[in-house]
A = this chain, B = another copy of it.
Amino acid sequence: MEQVIERIGLTLSGMGMPRMAARVFAAVLVSEQGRVTSAELAATLRISPAAVSQAVQYLENVGMIARDREPGRRRDHYRLLSEHWYEQMFTSRDRMLVAIEGDLTAAVGAIGVGSAAGQRLDETRRFFAYLRGELPKLIERWREREAASGHAEQA
């Protein structure tokens, strides 16, 4: 079980997530209830409470997990914000694409479309703009597909 968690953690950190956050997220993802306590995370991953705290903060900030606490209880729980968490990656990807397009637009403006370099950069800019338009449709078709195949269990 811990092996599975570490492997998924490696995959997620390979996709750009900070290492500890990736491991913590993997532990939450793999948990039966989709929710764990800080102490459970520290024990499962063999890390310090401080590391749990920082990773959890990151994951909350990027909207991947949420913190719970039952009234009258001392322990915090951390749970998946969404079962379809992977769609989240497209939200952050979209922000990145916006940034890239902005950079390229500025670059083309500085160089001018008349030059070979400018044309090359302008083509790249158009590609990223195209991606931004297409990715939501990709998600949409995915959802339809899942619904059609009976896998969807809308929360």
Residues of A within 8 A of B (CB): 1, 3-4, 7-8, 10-11, 14-16, 29-34, 80, 83-87, 96, 99-100, 103-104, 106-107, 110-111, 115-117, 120-121, 123-124, 126-128, 130-131, 134, 138, 141-142, 145-146, 151
Interface of A is mostly: helix
- Say yes or no: A104 contacts B8, CB within 8 Å: yes
Residue of B nearest to A101 (CB): B11
A110 CA / B104 CA spacing, docked (Å) = 45
New A-B pairs, 7, CB < 8 Å, besides A8-B107, A30-B117, A80-B120: A4-B106, A7-B103, A15-B100, A16-B16, A29-B124, A32-B116, A86-B127
